[in-house]
Structures are given as C-alpha cells and as structure tokens.
A and B are shown apart, each in its own frame.
Chain A
C-alpha cells in the first residue's frame, strides 16, 4: 500500500515537472517575449535589449527554466507587471473566492445528481427515469455562463432576492460571502450534475444485478437498505472517476462564471491579465490550474484505493 502510494507520488512529480517544462517551452516558442509585450511595438531596439537583459531573457532557455523552476518551488512566481506585486500573493488572495465557489458547486452537483441518479435507476424506464434523462440531456448542453445570466434575470433583476454579482469579501461576514457565491455555484453545478447523474444511474443499474445485491435482498434486507448499503457504495467508483474528469470543465466554467458574476477569483484574474497582456500572471495561473487538474486526477486515483479495498490488494 505504502509502496503503491509512493509510486503514484513519484509519477505525480514527474508529470508536474513535465507540465512546467512544456508550458515554459511553449511560452518561449510563441512570438513576442514578455519584454516586447510590456514595451509594445514602438520601443527602440536598445530599450528592448536593456529590459530583456534586466529580466534575464538573454540567457539560454534551459538556464532560464531552471531559475524559474527554482523560484516556483520557493513560492516565487514572479511579479505582475500591472499590479506591481508578487503573483503568488495575488493567486492566494483570489483563491479565497475560487476554492469556496468550486467546492460549493461540487457539493451542490453531488447533492442533486446522486439521489436523482439512484432514483432513476430504481425506477428504470419509469416517469422518474424519463424526467431525469431529459434533465441530463438539457443540463449537459447548457453553458454554465448562460445559466448564470438566466439566474441573474430571475433571482436578481426580477425577484431581487440575491445579488447580481460582486463579492463583499469574507471579512464582511461568512453569510454575505456565501450569499454572493450561491448563484454562481448553482450555475456551475447544473451542467456537472447532468453528467454525474447519468453516470450514477448506469453504475447503480449495473450493480443492482450483481449477486451480492441479490443475496442482500434474499437475506431479507429491505429494498432501501440493499440499495443504499450495498449497491450505491459499489457504484461510486465510476462516479468519482467522472468527478475527477469533470474537474477541467469545472475550472473552465469557473473562469466564465466568475466573469458573469464579477467575482474577484482566479478566472477573473486570468481574464484581466489577458486584457492587460500580463503574461507572467497568465503563465502562473495556467500552471496553477493545470497543476490542480493533475493533482485532482492523482487524488481520484487515491480515492479508488479508499473506496475499493480490492484494488489495494490487486495493484500491489
């Protein structure tokens, strides 16, 4: 078990190093280096050369990569040109919005998808199943940012129940913060819920036909107990896998939804960095997000071992 986890961690480190190297190389290959982006097209060659030297851009690629990686490992992600502050601090600040938003969305989507999926599987081809099938088809197809707009029209401009956007900050009060994040989280959760529901339904259907569920019924357990104690836990693996796979889309959705609701999160930071051509921030945010996706996939792998004891013995 320990050796297995150790191997997985080694794989994770190699992957993260590769990501950083590829990202660094791609940034280098793209036309226009950070210095010329900062100075614009009108700069004289001398000024450009001076800034390139100051930023260390005249050194060979490998040297720059090692220096940059050394900085990243010590938490030094470089300075933002537009904000004039270290990027690490900026990212940490914005995470206070993005992380609670993503967590709320995941919790909401699970709370919606698992009961719906289980019920659909129990009453296969019944009215409930047809309804949830329709729900999943629709929710997978709607863009999260459009759901956000619809929620604003309904709950803010029409009913006036919830704020249309903006974030008061956590120091104003947790309740106000959560209130500001609620509509964006629903917008993010809905498309996720459709996918999760579908996976839950088919996984539960498959498990319900297994011998151990039949045994559970035969020994006199009620249908509900057989379902929730024996079938659902065994159906969780594909659900967790999907949750991990969907993480990339959750992040992409967050970038858009944060912009719809004007939330000062990481996605909004990336968008502002783009319009200001702040390439250092851009590079760091992309590195951070991709690192997060890879870490998430790693955690999903570990979660298998927790959910399914058979795998612990099997893969050793």
Chain B
C-alpha cells in the first residue's frame, strides 16, 4: 500500500486503467440494458431520469452504450498498438543489428510514414476499401510502426555498445542470437512504457476516426460516434456530448499516467 501511496501518478493511472478494463470486460456479459435497444418514448432523457446516465435520441441507454463503447475502443486500440509495436520493434532491432545503408533507408521511410497523420491514411484507405474497424486498425497500426521502430533502434543501438555484447560477439555468437538474448530483454521496459502511452494515443485516434464515421459501423456503439450524434442535440441534451468525451479523456489520462508512472518505476536512471 505504501508503495502505491508514494507513487500517486502511477497509482491513479493504474486505478483508472483497471477500472476501464473491468468495465469493458463486464460489458461483454452484462449491461444495464441492451445498448442497441430503442425506446422512443424515453428519448433524450437526462441522467437519472431514465437509466443512470440518461438516453440518446433513440431512447437507447447511454450507460450501456458507454460500457460497450469502452470495449470497442479498447479492443480496437489494443489490436492496432499490438500490430504496430510488434512490427516496429522487429524493424528496430533488425536494423540495429544490420546497421549500414539499411539503417538510413529504413529510417527515411519511417520519417515518411510518420508524416501522414493516421486520420488521413484512414480516410485514404476508407476511400478505396471502405471504412470500418479493419481500416481503423490498419491506419493506426501503420502510424505506430515508425514510432516503435525509432524508439527500438535508439535503445538497441545503446545495448550494442555495451561490454557484454562485445564479449558475446568475441565469443562468436551471431547477431540474431545476440538480439534475442541480450538486446530484446534489455529494451523491453522501454517498449512496455511506450505501449502504454501509445495506447492512449490510439484511443484518441480511434475516437476521432469513429467521430468522422471511419470506425466501427453502426449500430455498434463507439465513443466517437456517440459524440458525433450528440452534435445535433447540443442545446437540448448537452449530457450526450459531455459523457462520451469524459470517457475518452479519462481513459487516455489513465493510460498516460500509468505510462509515466511505469517509466519512473522501470527506469531508475530517469528519476530526478
């Protein structure tokens, strides 16, 4: 307990993130009402008047929609970051082991990918293959690859200069083996921290994409589309615009704080 109290940022982040994950998981087996159930007679009711958090323009229960939205947002972002982090880390450690011309070519390509915001690549993909969850995941994942490739390359290059790596090279270990035995375990902490922080960014991006109609198609509830639908009722039902945004902000803040806390925890050198 005192361990958590001495690290308030980490603890707050952990609590928010765990709550979010719990809500998302619970939504798979239980929600107050089915999130797609329409009750037109109860439409646009404020929080507590009908259900815990009110109803939307079709009389659907906002609390239930937010719960399922948590699962949709989290699972999409998690998949996207997992793909991006795996590919990016792979590229990073391989390039760090090969060096030479490959390094500058790969990094130049990374710069270019990084120059296209995921919202735009999702729109571009959407124009050709149609929008949906798959498009959103690919667009976010593609943007994550250079993020992780750069981080991994920088971290791995440092490990390659260490004495124990020089020793391993001297003993005749090949570069692939050194990467697996020495490099990856020593940069794992930094990757974990980055995954946490990028998850927050992925949730923000996913929300933006579904706000534009580029995320999961209706009737699946997403935080972004709930906000987009709320635009029409800003005067009559402002809570419809408040609640999903609050959910996004809390989720992202929780993950960012957890990431910051993890960084301090896992990397003692950075502590000041």
- Judged by a CB distance under 8 angstroms, whether A259 is at the interface is yes
The residue among A19, A157, A252 with the most chain B CB atoms within 10 A of its own CB is A252
Bound CA span A251–B123, Å: 14
Subset of 30 A-B contacts with CB under 8 Å = A18-B109, A18-B112, A19-B115, A22-B109, A30-B125, A30-B128, A30-B129, A32-B129, A141-B248, A141-B249, A141-B256, A142-B249, A146-B244, A149-B227, A150-B245, A157-B234, A164-B234, A252-B120, A252-B208, A255-B123, A256-B119, A259-B211, A259-B212, A270-B120, A279-B128, A286-B120, A286-B121, A290-B120, A293-B114, A297-B115
Please give 9 more A-B residue pairs, beta carbons under 8 A apart, in addition to A140-B252, A153-B238, A282-B123: A32-B128, A138-B253, A141-B253, A145-B227, A252-B120, A256-B208, A259-B212, A273-B127, A293-B117
Identify the closest chain B residue to A287 (Cβ). B116
Chain A binding surface, main DSSP class: helix
Q: Using a Cβ–Cβ cut-off of 8 Å, how many residues does chain B contribute to the interface with A?
A: 44
Say whether B249 contacts A143, CB under 8 Å. yes
- Judged by a CB distance under 8 angstroms, whether A80 is at the interface is no
Bound CA span A271–B208, Å: 12
Bound CA span A27–B227, Å: 31
Which residues of B73-121 are within 8 A (CB) of A? Answer: 108-109, 111-112, 114-121
With A143-B204, A271-B212 already in contact, the answer to whether A15 and B124 are too (CB < 8 A) is no
Say whether A146 contacts B112, CB under 8 Å. no
Say whether A248 contacts B115, CB under 8 Å. yes
Residues of B at the A interface (CB closer than 8 Å) are 108-109, 111-112, 114-121, 123-129, 200, 204-205, 207-208, 211-212, 214, 227, 230-231, 234-235, 238, 241-242, 244-245, 248-250, 252-253, 256-257
Bitwise interface map of A from 69 to 83 toward B, beta carbon under 8 Å scored 1, else 0? 000000000000000
Give every chain B residue within 8 A of A157 (Cβ-Cβ): 234-235, 238
Shortest Cβ gap from A19 to chain B (Å):
5
Shortest Cβ gap from A274 to chain B (Å):
5
Say whether A141 contacts B120, CB under 8 Å. no
- Judged by a CB distance under 8 angstroms, whether A285 is at the interface is yes
- Judged by a CB distance under 8 angstroms, whether A289 is at the interface is yes
Give every chain B residue within 8 A of A285 (Cβ-Cβ): 120
Give every chain A residue within 8 A of B127 (Cβ-Cβ): 37, 273-274, 277-279, 282
Say whether A149 contacts B245, CB under 8 Å. yes
Identify the closest chain A residue to B230 (Cβ). A149
- Judged by a CB distance under 8 angstroms, whether A152 is at the interface is yes
Give every chain B residue within 8 A of A14 (Cβ-Cβ): 108
Bound CA span A273–B127, Å: 8
Shortest Cβ gap from B98 to chain A (Å):
20
- Judged by a CB distance under 8 angstroms, whether A234 is at the interface is no
- Judged by a CB distance under 8 angstroms, whether A241 is at the interface is no
- Judged by a CB distance under 8 angstroms, whether A137 is at the interface is yes
Say whether B256 contacts A150, CB under 8 Å. no
Identify the closest chain B residue to A278 (Cβ). B127
Which listed residue, A31, A140, A164, A256, touches B129 by the CB 8 Å rule? A31
Identify the closest chain A residue to B241 (Cβ). A149
The residue among A27, A138, A149 with the most chain B CB atoms within 10 A of its own CB is A149
Say whether B249 contacts A153, CB under 8 Å. no
Say whether B128 contacts A289, CB under 8 Å. no
Give every chain B residue within 8 A of A15 (Cβ-Cβ): 108, 111-112
Identify the closest chain A residue to B119 (Cβ). A252
Bound CA span A26–B119, Å: 16
Bound CA span A297–B227, Å: 33
Shortest Cβ gap from B196 to chain A (Å):
13
Bound CA span A15–B91, Å: 20
Bound CA span A293–B121, Å: 14
Give every chain A residue within 8 A of B112 (Cβ-Cβ): 15, 18-19, 22, 290, 294
Give every chain B residue within 8 A of A101 (Cβ-Cβ): none
Say whether A143 contacts B248, CB under 8 Å. yes
With A149-B234, A259-B212 already in contact, the answer to whether A251 and B117 are too (CB < 8 A) is yes
The residue among A146, A157, A285 with the most chain B CB atoms within 10 A of its own CB is A146
Give every chain B residue within 8 A of A18 (Cβ-Cβ): 108-109, 112
Say whether B234 contacts A152, CB under 8 Å. yes
Bound CA span A283–B250, Å: 35
Bound CA span A37–B124, Å: 13
